[in-house]
Amino acid sequence: MRHTRIIVTHYGGPDALRLIEEDCPAPKLGEVRVKVLAAGVSLPDVMAREGIHPETPKLPFTPGWDLVGVVDTLGEGVSAPAPGQIVAAMPINGAYAQFVCLPRAELIPVPSGLDPAEAVSLVLNYITAYQMLHRSAKVQPGQRVLIHGAAGGVGSALMQLGRLAGLEIYGTCSSSAASAVSELGGVPIDYQHQDFVEEIHRLTGEGVDVVFDSLGGSHIWRSRQALRAGGKVVAFGLTGSLRGGRLASGRSGGRHRYRALAIFGWYIAASALLPGRKRVVPYSIQTLKRLKPAMFREDLLTLFSLLQQKKIKPLVALRIPLAEAKYAHELLGKGGVIGKIVLVPNPS
């Protein structure tokens, strides 16, 4: 049997993505072959394509952090889950494919009846949001928070889960996304035409309790200025190194996994020396998952339950065929995407 997958042929722009056809992979000892129903498209995928994400593999590689699929074939030594079971996984790379072989321990059952595109939104975006809110920031009802990129994949997840937690929410976004942020229960701040630090202090007086910063670098210092005394910045991204979906520096074509991370770490360390009792707390979903896989599983099952109960509703921006992954990256790079783009490798 044949299948298709996307590979990154060189570190660079969306043109680095290529669709290939090959023999379907066979599961090894302890593995399960999964037929992918939905694969998420995320900024970490873009950063890996550019060669700057800490998790960037060697070339050639198949991108894709998160997937939802159906169990197809069990490898030797595996008795469950049964073929036909819907499962989710966060392999970090490899999800842009029709079939993927994964270790049995990586698979988490998905309750029946859920939309695969909505379910896959929980695996990376909502887990990130949930753990930052409740495990990193340990938010309490009534606290004020600022979310950067509030209409994006992680941002909209933070908005919905923050509202469930009883938070007062402010969100930076483009003017075109302001209505979406308002509908999610937040106060939009147009980052293109407003200084978010000035606006936060105008609206709140003393500042917010927590800022969720996905940009990294010197932006962490600006986020810190929006805090009240005793507040914290939860820093979880390095997307400030991108401009229009490409490296802001203009230097591409190499694998520089630790360059942005080193700059990120320097700003976190330097911020600790500044006055004001304002902390910067780094968050890494892949690190926490590796250290505490049971926690990752527990949190994802909690989110599936919230989705079943209709307490959350992931925003699926577009469902795009796998063969059009390049187009998906172009759209994400342009910005202004509300919610999550999902690739559909096996359209029914």
pLDDT tens, residue order, the chain (348 aa): 999 999 999 999 999 999 999 999 999 999 999 999 999 999 999 999 999 899 999 999 999 999 999 999 999 999 989 999 999 999 999 999 999 999 999 999 999 999 999 999 999 999 999 999 999 999 999 999 999 999 999 999 999 999 999 999 999 999 999 999 999 999 999 998 999 999 999 999 999 999 999 988 788 989 999 999 999 999 998 777 777 777 766 666 677 766 666 766 776 777 666 666 788 999 999 999 999 999 999 999 999 999 999 999 999 999 999 999 999 999 999 988 999 999 999 876
Which H or E run includes 95?
none
d(CA 278, CA 275): 7
Running DSSP on this structure, what letter comes out for residue 284?
-
Q: How far apart are CA 35 and CA 139, in angstroms?
A: 38
Cα–Cα distance, 322 to 95 (Å, whole number): 10
CA 329 – CA 41 distance, rounded (Å):
8
**CB-based contact 49:329 (threshold 8 Å):** yes
Give per-residue pLDDT as tens, 42-93. Answer: 999 999 999 989 999 999 999 999 999 999 999 999 998 999 999 999 999 9
Residue 257 exposed, middle or buried by CB count within 10 Å (0-12, 13-18, 19+)? middle
pLDDT of residue 344: 97
Q: Report the Cα 96 to chain-centroid distance in Å.
A: 15
Cis peptide before 81 (omega within 30 of 0): yes
Report yes or no: 89 and 108 within 8 Å, Cβ to Cβ. yes
Strands in 139-204 per DSSP E = 144-147, 168-173, 187-190
Tell me the whole-structure pTM to 2 decimals: 0.94
- For residue 118, the model assigns a pLDDT of 98
Output the CA torsion sign for 149, 235, 39, 53.
positive
Domains parsed from the chain with CATH numbers? 2-120+314-344 (3.90.180.10), 121-287 (3.40.50.720)
- At 217 the pLDDT is 79
Phi (first) and psi of residue 14, to 5 degrees:
-55, -25
Quote the CA–CA distance of 321 and 325 in Å, as a whole number: 7
The string of DSSP codes covering 32-81 is EEEEEEEEEE-HHHHHHHHT-STTPPPSSB---S-EEEEEEEE-TT---S
**Amino acid 242: pLDDT:** 72
Confidence at residue 264, expressed as pLDDT on a 0 to 100 scale: 67
| pLDDT recorded at residue 24 | 97
Question: Which pLDDT does position 251 carry in this prediction?
Answer: 65
Check the CA dihedral 265-122-111-103 and report its sign.
Answer: negative
How far is Cα 305 from Cα 312, in angstroms, rounded to an integer?
10
